[in-house]
Amino acid sequence: MINKKFLIKKNTEFKKMSDQIKITCSGCSLLCDDIIIIKHEKDIEKILGTCLKGKEKFNQIISKNRILNPLIRKNNSLEKINWDIALDKAVQMINNSIKPVLYGLSNISCEAQLNAIKIARKINGFIDSNSTICQGQVLNFASKIGITTMTLTDIINKSDVIILWGVNVVESIPRLLSKILFSRGKFRITGREIKSLIIVDIYKTASFNVLGTRDLALIIKPDNDIELIRFLKKYCREEYKIPAGGNSGIDKQDLERLISILLNSEHISILTGQALIKPQGEGHPMKELLELIKILNKYKKIGRVSLMMVGGHYNMVGFEHIALAETGKNQSIQFRNGKSVQTEETIISKLQNQDFDLSIIVGTDPISHFPAAISKNLSSKPMILIDNKKSGTYLIADLILPTAITGIECEGLAFRLDHVPIKLKKIIDPPNNILSDAKLLENILMKLE
Ligand code: SF4
């Protein structure tokens, strides 16, 4: 059956003329590389293998929500402009600014991220990615404490225990568990049968539905992750008595099981999300989790424990790598005189303190995601939006520059959630000769004085 949503205009040019094309989905950070596109003549007829979230990404090609032309806001309404005027206007806005900030950059290719960093350097701006309020903090703690990481292949082939701590992967990364929990690895003749799943969360998420009889569901009290981690740190170091009333809402029996699994399983993979990012009391649960992993790896008799941060945006990890390579910092980079300088600022403090006079937002929607007071500050200053779809931020941006969809209409490099680089292909031409994020940012860079 042909899904009309995936039919592309007859004159669309395909890069490759075969009937089936194997591609990578850029719908989320899992970057599934087993997606098949079936085409008929020059039309995309069917897309096989994506989850609903991935299908949404392909629907974006012909969505009503798609931005197809450069737009400028005049008297509170948007007017179409041509690309020459749009680029001149972007450069004029940048040249008029003395405190520009660039933000987003997790839904674009590594090539585009590099060009954005070059722009920030050239205009002595401040640049930050979505990672600053997400997984970037893990790397900051890891640089002091250390981290044991793993790839998806490690989890598939070696893990006997998978722990989801404060992350609902069934909804955020829909195909993750089908790859790592229900698959058979190279070194075992069994798959799900020997893999135990432990979920730690404050309420029953959709991921709890995957739990089997041998698995462990741990509902903890809100903001008690740090207390549980501290308890486990103490227990693993010394013979510590488990309190009769349990800890953090988890009863004694479940705690005993958890501790036994942590100390006796061979290869434990802990996957965690934003729930552990925000401070709890005076401490940081993510920092303490890294410390717990270090202790476990010291005291465990067999195997090892590893950590993977589960971010949503398809190339959030890419920004960490590109920024580190280019500036020595993975996030929150302030340039002065063309050099990265020491700063404690983040995009949040910059916007909170109104310490900016222009924002360049790339591939994200901070107006919808940030708290109202911060969104209000952001909307009070001139804004350039670079994106391929309409959003809350689109409704207030002064200049809007549309881009092609990477992995469908243009190629590029991205880093999967386990830090493995994956090449994204171009399958069809973008509408209206829209440029890729990388090319658009390169053009702006070339035009800057
Ligand atoms: S899990 Fe993510 S990468 Fe895989 S098909 Fe779904 S949206 Fe695409």
Ligand 1 centroid – CA 152 distance (Å): 14
Cα angle 115-120-125, degrees, rounded to a multiple of 5: 165
Q: Please tell me the predicted confidence (pLDDT) of residue 19.
A: 75
Distance, CA of 413 to CA of 428 (rounded, Å) = 17
Residue from 33, 48, 53, 408 to probe ligand 1 pocket by mutation (most atoms less than 8 Å from CB):
53
Chain centre to alpha carbon of residue 232: 29
Quick one: which atom of ligand 1 is closest to the CA of 56? Answer: 7
Query: Which residue's CA is the closest to the ligand 1 atom numbered 2?
Result: 28
Ligand 1 centroid distance, CA of 54 (Å): 5
At residue 13, the pLDDT reads 46
pLDDT at 1: 33
Angle at 40 between CA 36 and CA 41, to 5 degrees: 125
DSSP string, 76-116: TEEEE--HHHHHHHHHHHHHT-SSEEEEE-SSS-HHHHHHH
CA of 328 to the centre of ligand 1 (A): 31
How far is the centre of ligand 1, averaged over its atoms, from the C-alpha of 207 (Å)?
A: 16
Predicted confidence at residue 327, as pLDDT, reads: 96
Q: In this structure, are residues 155 and 420 in contact, taking their beta carbons and an 8 Å threshold?
A: no
Q: Report pLDDT for 189.
A: 67
Nearest alpha carbon to residue 188 among 216, 155, 217: 155
**Domains of the chain with CATH codes:** 4-62 (no CATH), 71-134+314-411+427-447 (3.40.50.740), 136-309 (3.40.228.10)
How much is the pLDDT for 42?
Answer: 67
Distance 176 CA to ligand 1 centre (A): 8
Q: How far is the CA of 416 from the centre of ligand 1 (A)?
A: 11
The per-residue pLDDT string of the chain (449 residues; one tens digit each, 9 = 90 and over) reads 334 444 444 444 444 445 788 999 999 999 999 999 987 776 788 899 999 999 999 999 989 999 999 999 999 899 999 999 999 999 999 999 999 999 999 999 999 999 999 999 999 999 999 998 888 888 889 989 999 999 999 999 999 999 999 999 999 999 999 999 988 877 776 677 789 999 999 999 999 999 998 899 999 999 999 999 999 998 887 767 888 999 999 999 999 999 999 988 999 999 998 889 889 998 999 999 999 999 999 988 888 999 999 988 999 999 999 999 999 999 999 999 999 999 999 999 999 999 999 999 999 999 999 999 999 999 999 999 999 999 999 999 999 999 999 999 999 999 999 999 999 999 988 999 899 999 999 999 999 96
**Rounded to whole angstroms, how far apart are CA atoms 392 and 395?**
5
Distance CA 385, CA 90 (A): 10
25 touches ligand 1 (CB under 6 Å): yes
Determine the residue of 29, 31, 51 to mutate for testing ligand 1's pocket, defined as the one with the most ligand atoms within 8 A of the Cβ atom. Answer: 51
pLDDT score at 4: 47
* Tokens, residue 272: 């965690």
Ligand 1 atom closest to Cα of residue 24:
3
In the chain, the N- to C-terminal Cα span, in Å, equals 54
User: What is the atom index within ligand 1 of the atom nearest the CA of 57?
Assistant: 7
Q: Is the CB of 51 under 6 A from ligand 1?
A: yes
Question: What confidence score (pLDDT) does residue 14 get?
Answer: 45
β-pair type (216-219, 196-201): parallel
Q: Is 407 in the pocket of ligand 1 (CB under 6 A)?
A: no
428 lines ligand 1 (CB under 6 A): no
Ligand 1 centroid–CA 73 distance in Å is: 35
Distances (CA, A) of 444 to 87, 241, 420: 7, 63, 29
Ligand 1 atom 1: the closest Cα is on which residue?
A: 175
